[in-house]
Amino acid sequence: MDKEVKQEVLRTVKRCIDNDMLQDDTIKEINSLLIEDLSGQIEPKINPDDLGREVDPSCESGICGAR
């Protein structure tokens, strides 16, 4: 889809939201599509310091104090 078509779709969706013309299920589906599109644009970043890091076994909750 080219940029102009996307812009028109977004304007139409915004008008529908502003005029309360969308049902909850439709809004959820739109949100899912937006998240899917945005997720494809974000490159996952791994901190090299986190690779191979061991977690103290006493940290059962996953929330540990600073070391």
By three-state DSSP, how is residue 20 classified?
coil
pLDDT score of 17: 87
Q: How far are the Cα atoms of 13, 39, 46 from residue 43, in angstroms, in the given order?
A: 27, 8, 10
Confidence of residue 46 (pLDDT cuts 50, 70, 90): confident
Residue-wise pLDDT for 13-39, tens only, equals 889 889 999 888 988 888 888 888 777
Confidence of residue 67 (pLDDT cuts 50, 70, 90): low
pTM: 0.44
**Alpha carbon distance 37, 32 (integer Å):** 9
Average pLDDT value for the chain = 77
